[in-house]
Structure formats: C-alpha cells, structure tokens
Structure 1
Amino acid sequence: MIVYHPAFDLYHCVYRLLQILTHFDKNEFVELDRLRIWDFYLLFPNQVQKITLRREEEDIRKLINFYITNEKNPYEDILDNRKMFERIKPYQLTAIKCLASYGIINKQYLAENRVTIVSKQLLQSYTSKFEPMTPKERNVIGLMTSHFYQVSMFGPHGLKAKTKLMESKYDAE
C-alpha cells in the first residue's frame, strides 16, 4: 500500500516555506535552522503543544491552546520528534536550495545559514496562485513568525532547547 505524507514531498515543502516567507520583509533574515523548525511545526501543528514554555510565557501557552487545537489525526502521530525532524531535513534543504535557484531567496546569505528574500514581488507571484491556508496553519505561522522569531536560538531558554528538535546542550548563549 502506498501512503502519501506531505513530510516527504519536496513540492509541499516548497509550498510551506513560501507561505512562511510571505511574513517577512525584503531586508529581514531568518536563521536556516529556525526556518526548518517553523516548517516542522507547520507540517505537524499538533506538536506545537509540546514546546516547553517558561512561566513568563503563560500567555503564549493560552494562545496555543485556544488557536491551535489538538485534534487527533493518526497520520500526525510522531513517536520521536527529533528523528522525524532529521528525516525531513534533506527535503527542507533541497526546497530551500530550490527557492534560491528561482531567485526568491539570496544565495549568498544561504551560505551563511541565513535566509532572506530577494524579491517580494516574485514571492507574491507564486503565493497568489495558492489556495488559502486553513485557520490552524495561519495560526501556527503567525505564532512562529511573531513570538518564536524573537526567541534566541541558543541557551537554556532558546528555541532549540524549547522544541528539543536539535541538540542545544553545548550551545553558547
């Protein structure tokens, strides 16, 4: 039996990354690993509930519980988030390189593990052809590009430590 899952679809990964990048201006940049983490949570929105938050971030927890409902979907059950994150890495990196080859993101910044938009108009020309996203997907992207954009990647309270998708034990703050 053949079972399709968007996690292993290169074109779906390009679609997700384009949707995330529409929330940025031309002069802004995002770290490559941060973009990969956001893509993971757009792909598996129910996993947002498992992000470790501090007491000061209780308002974010309330927003997550209210706007990103945890609906049971057997195709989104993941036994190990970190292993799944590593399994989709080749698809994510290939999709990012594809966007760079189309001239949507800057190749030079990509060499520095940063992603920045080259042409907002070109990005809009692609995303204007897409179907509207579901409210759950829009909520995940909104949360990731607002609150989790401001959170540092490193340290005991960084995005890597909060999500546990990447090793953060030996990172400097």
Structure 2
Amino acid sequence: MLLYNKALDANHALLRMTALLISWKTDMVEGEALRMFDFLIANPAHIEKLSLPKDEFIERKVFKSYRNRYQNFEPKSLFNAMKDIHFMVIERFVEIGILRVDKNTYSYHVELDNIPNGLRVLAESKENSISKQAIEFIVANLTQISVTGPAGLKKITSLMDYKYDVN
C-alpha cells in the first residue's frame, strides 16, 4: 500500500512554513525552531506528546484527535527524514528574500513583504490542508520558548539532541 505523507512533500513544507511565518509575524527566526515547528504542523498529533508541565497548555490535548493509524512513525526518524526538505525550503526562502541570513547568529531575518502574492494567498486560504489549530497553538505557546536549554524546544519536542547544547 502506498501512502502519501505531507511531511515529506517539499511543496507542502514550503506552504506550511509560509503559513507559520505569516501567523507568527516575527522579525527573527532560528532555523532549528522553524524546522521543529514545521514538523509539529505537519504532524499535529505530536503536539499532544510534548513534554510540557501537565498543568500548563491543557489545550494541547485536543491534538489527540489528529492521531491516524496509518501515520504510525517514530517522530525523531521522520524529523530527520524531513531535514533535506527543510533545508531546501529555507534555502528557497533565502533565494526569494523571505529569509535573510544573520551573519552573527544561526538565525534569519524575516521579510514577510517578500512573500510572493500567490503563495501568500494559498498559505492564508481556509481551504488548504494545513492545521490552523496547530499553527495557532505554536504561535501562542511555543514561539517564546528557547530552542536550547533544560526547558527548550529540543527537549520538549524530543526531536533533536540537546544534552550538550550551550545556553
């Protein structure tokens, strides 16, 4: 049986990341954060599995309904499989001017005005296959969390190693 996984579709990743950047409205973004957030948008059921304090972010339980018996995967392996697609999309964003490399950090300056109109319309459409609920949860709850550290995104998502990160 052949199954389509939108997480491994480069065009869908471009659309997901565009929708995230439009909703986030940030001036700077770390590449690792963008990658982790894209994984969560492509796989909203993983949001329910985040290692966050039980009393906080109670609304993440709604993402349990996104579970799909055909999308049974090991999250870290899928995240690693998405790496080349993520780098390709980020490189494309740099080429068209949506992201500009910050020479002093591992971050990018975000230029939302450079998003092509057709891509913007599709990313903001209510009829696309992107979970608006996941994007809203990420923007409201996760974007202010540091990527590294004992309570950072790498740790709470379990998608990247964090043990030897320097804060």
User: TM-score scaled to structure 1, two decimals?
Assistant: 0.83
Q: Which residue of 1 aligns with 2:10?
A: 10
Q: Which amino acid aligns with 2:25?
A: D
Determine whether 1:71 maps to 2:63.
no
Q: How does 1:24-173 map to 2 (within 5 A)?
A: 24-25=24-25, 28-55=27-54, 58-60=55-57, 62-66=58-62, 68-78=63-73, 80-106=74-100, 108-109=101-102, 112-118=105-111, 120-123=112-115, 125=117, 126-130=119-123, 131-132=125-126, 137-173=131-167
Q: Which amino acid aligns with 2:47?
A: V
Unaligned runs of 5+ in 1: none
The Cα offsets for residues 44-101 of structure 1, whole Å up to 9 and x where unpaired, read as 000111100125xx231x11114x34233133221x2111111100001101111111
Displacement of 1:9 in angstroms is 1.4
Greater shift, 81-90 or 140-149, is seen at: 140-149
Q: Which amino acid aligns with 2:115?
A: L
Asked if the contact 2:44/2:66 (under 8 Å) is kept, the reply is: no
| CA distance, structure 1, for counterparts of residue 21 and residue 161 of structure 2 | 25
Where 2:97 maps in the other structure, the secondary structure is: coil
Displacement of 1:160 in angstroms is 0.6
* Inter-CA distance 37–6: structure 2 relative to 1 (3 Å threshold): same
User: TM-score scaled to structure 2, two decimals?
Assistant: 0.86
* Inter-CA distance 112–48: structure 2 relative to 1 (3 Å threshold): same
Displacement of 1:110 in angstroms is 7.8
Where 1:151 maps in the other structure, the secondary structure is: coil
Q: Which amino acid aligns with 1:77?
A: N
Where 2:108 maps in the other structure, the secondary structure is: strand
Aligned residues: 165
| CA distance, structure 2, for counterparts of residue 111 and residue 39 of structure 1 | 24
Q: Which amino acid aligns with 2:3?
A: V
| CA distance, structure 2, for counterparts of residue 158 and residue 93 of structure 1 | 22
The Cα offsets for residues 107-144 of structure 1, whole Å up to 9 and x where unpaired, read as x33884313322x3332622213431679811211121
| CA distance, structure 2, for counterparts of residue 170 and residue 109 of structure 1 | 23
Displacement of 1:8 in angstroms is 1.9
Q: Which amino acid aligns with 2:83?
A: K
* Inter-CA distance 124–8: structure 2 relative to 1 (3 Å threshold): same
- How big is the alpha-carbon RMSD for the aligned residues of Structure 1 and Structure 2? 2.4
